[in-house]
Amino acid sequence: MSVRVDFYILPDATAQGRLRLACKLAEKAYDNGHRVYVLAADAAQAHTLDELLWTFKQNSFVPHVRYPPPADDAAPVWISPEPPPQQADDVVINLTADLPPRFEQFQRVLELVDQHPDVLAASRQRFRAYRAQGIEPTSHQLPAG
């Protein structure tokens, strides 16, 4: 089975736009029975995303934990700036500027793009890198609001 790569393109560059989109996509994946690894750019972003998942939407619950989880925690959504472990192989949401390490092990890679020049430049490089590996990414232009 080959990996499916989707680029979700926001129309603007708001402060938390990509993080809010990560929450929405993690919720949708969880609701559809998937396990999700959210690859944060750094520890501060991972912490912010951890907090945001509790509050981004009223009446929403996305069971999540910072990776590595406690031994007895089976939360379906893991958040970390660390490379995904081998057992993470379903969905990865990438918030970094680089290809996710071992991205080939996942069924789906979700790339989140906003209109910030640095984010755009890095996402274009990742798009080309996926194509160079024989993967044809799909782009989704998201509406404003």
Q: What is the DSSP string of 118-130?
A: HHHHHHHHHHHHH
pTM of the model: 0.95
Residue 1's pLDDT is 53
Dihedral angle at the C-alpha atoms of 121, 122, 126, 127, nearest 10 degrees?
A: -30
Which tens digits make up the pLDDT trace of 81-124?
999 988 889 999 999 999 999 999 999 999 999 999 999 999 99
If you average pLDDT over every residue of the chain, what do you get? 93
Q: Any bridge partners for residue 108, and if so which? A: 4, 91
- By CB atoms closer than 10 A (0-12, 13-18, 19+), residue 111 is buried
Residue the block writes with tokens 């993967």: 135
Q: Which two tokens stand for residue 116?
A: 């910030």
Q: What is the DSSP string of 5-53?
A: EEEEE-SS--TTHHHHHHHHHHHHHHHTT--EEEE-SSHHHHHHHHHHH
Who has greater pLDDT, 27 or 87? 27
CA 77 remoteness from chain centre: 10
**Domains, the chain, ordered by start:** 4-141 (3.40.50.10110)
